[in-house]
Amino acid sequence: MLIKKYYYGDYGEIEGGVSSNKSETEFPLWEVFIRSKQGLDHKHVGSLHAADAAMAMENARDVYTRRMEGVSIWVVESKYIHASNPDEAESLYEPSMDKVYRHPTFYQLPDEVNHM
């Protein structure tokens, strides 16, 4: 008699057609943003795996707002977040340096203005 040990989330080949291929049964990664009672902006608080947006919202509520610290929750599937490459920062932000009118040193302030 062969005994097979399963771990949480690892069901293997089960009667009913569930595949043992882990990539088919993994849930997508979601990023969670919470707005606190004191703040006006949402802050990234962590990530979680969920099957869909509703499940991600419920899990985010359970995990990240246990002490009633949030008033708003955003969940975004990680594959929809696009970020700049830190190695390309110089070329990305370079165009703003050639617009001298954006820098406060470009303007002459009157003597009457003390603290600007």
What residue ranges do the domains of the chain occupy?
25-106
pLDDT of residue 14: 47
Which residues, including other chains, have CB under 8 Å from residue 31's CB and lie 6 or more apart?
Answer: 44, 46, 47, 75, 76, 77, 78, 81
Q: What is the pTM of this model?
A: 0.59
Which residues, including other chains, have CB under 8 Å from residue 103's CB and lie 6 or more apart?
Answer: none
Count the residues in the chain.
116
Q: How far apart are CA 90 and CA 58, in angstroms?
A: 40
Place domain 25-106 in its CATH homologous superfamily.
Answer: Phenylacetic acid degradation B (3.10.20.520)
Residue 8 has pLDDT above 80, yes or no: no
| CB 77 within 8 Å of CB 57 | no
Residue 17 has pLDDT above 70, yes or no: no
Q: How far apart are CA 56 and CA 52, in angstroms?
A: 6
> At 35, phi and psi to the nearest 5?
-105, 125
**pLDDT tens, position by position, 42-81:** 999 999 999 999 999 999 999 999 888 889 999 999 999 9
